[in-house]
Amino acid sequence: MNLRHTLSKTKVLCSVVAITSTRQFSSSTVSALNICIIAGSTRTSGPPRPILSQRVTSFVKSSLENRGTTHEISIIEARQNLPLLERPHFSYATSQCPKQLQEMHKTLSNADAYIAITPEYNHSPCPGLMNIMNHFGSSTFGFKPSGIVSYSAGQWGGTRAANNLRPFLSELGCLPVSAMAHIPKAAEVLDENGNVINDEDLEQWNSYIDRMISQLEWWGDAAKIHKENVDPLKKSPTFRSNPSQRNAPS
């Protein structure tokens, strides 16, 4: 390769870099999304106290509401006493499916994105969260993003539970975004209404959870737009012929 060719190629690459760096995006915001928060804790009383799930859920909800985009937010709580999994939603005939499962399925199906909230039980996500999501298959959750928020009364913030939750969400098809939010010593961070207790830490906590939400919004908006043009189930259908089969892409 001669010097003239090398210089010419370098000029082209520099031009591409210059065009990329000066690109003007059409919008700095995403479209409104239907976001479902799934709060996995089943605790309704102590000891130990205080109960942290409601604090964390309120914090996540208010963080979504303060984004500048009017998202539709729904909340499913494990405290709603969904029975221990015996038969998943997709194993029922429509006319025989319990009303509670039907309503929950409608809420989950209508969502564009999910936020899973979990404490840590033995390095794992809480069983209440897994029980909710295991009642439904990937045809409910698939081709949508998810975000993870974990918390604890101790110093680790549920990080091990959050990491163990990632492959589970991926298997259901609601791929988790890379940014996660972990809240250690949650009783010292959030008050009963989910507000950050220490005003000096407010900006830091808002910035921290906004990073996860920003990724969730971006992927949720992208998936929503793309599904309007391309049917994801056309190339990756779900099993429907036999209820005993797992409700997953074939």
User: Could you read off the pLDDT of 62-76 as tens digits, one per residue?
Assistant: 999 999 889 999 999
Q: For residue 21, is pLDDT > 90?
A: no
Q: State residue 198's pLDDT score.
A: 94
Considering only residues 18 and 100, tell me which one the structure prediction assigns the higher pLDDT. Answer: 100
Q: Which domains does the chain have, with CATH numbers?
A: 32-233 (3.40.50.360)
Query: What does each C-alpha distance from 104 to 100, 217, 228, 231 come to in angstroms?
Result: 6, 22, 24, 24
Ranges of beta strands (E only) in 20-80 are 34-39, 72-77
Between CA 127 and CA 131 the distance in angstroms is 6
Q: Which helix (H) or strand (E) holds 182?
A: strand 181-183
For residues 136-141, average pLDDT: 92
Query: What does each C-alpha distance from 250 to 93, 139, 241 come to in angstroms?
Result: 21, 11, 11
Position 94 confidence tier, pLDDT thresholds 50, 70, 90 = confident
Could you write out the DSSP letters of every residue in 91-115? GS-GGGS-HHHHHHHHHHHH-SEEE
Between CA 94 and CA 102 the distance in angstroms is 8
Q: State residue 48's pLDDT score.
A: 73
Position 45 confidence tier, pLDDT thresholds 50, 70, 90 = confident
pLDDT tens digits, 168-204: 999 999 999 999 999 999 999 999 999 999 999 999 9
Q: State residue 80's pLDDT score.
A: 82
Q: State residue 29's pLDDT score.
A: 74
pLDDT tens digits, 215-250: 999 999 999 999 999 998 887 876 655 555 556 544
Considering only residues 147 and 243, tell me which one the structure prediction assigns the higher pLDDT. Answer: 147
Provide the β-strand partners of residue 34. Answer: 72
Considering only residues 10 and 144, tell me which one the structure prediction assigns the higher pLDDT. Answer: 144
Q: Which helix (H) or strand (E) holds 172?
A: helix 159-172
Q: Give me the percent of the chain exceeding a pLDDT of 90.
A: 69
Record the pTM.
Answer: 0.85
Provide the β-strand partners of residue 37. Answer: 75, 115
Considering only residues 188 and 48, tell me which one the structure prediction assigns the higher pLDDT. Answer: 188
Between CA 45 and CA 87 the distance in angstroms is 28
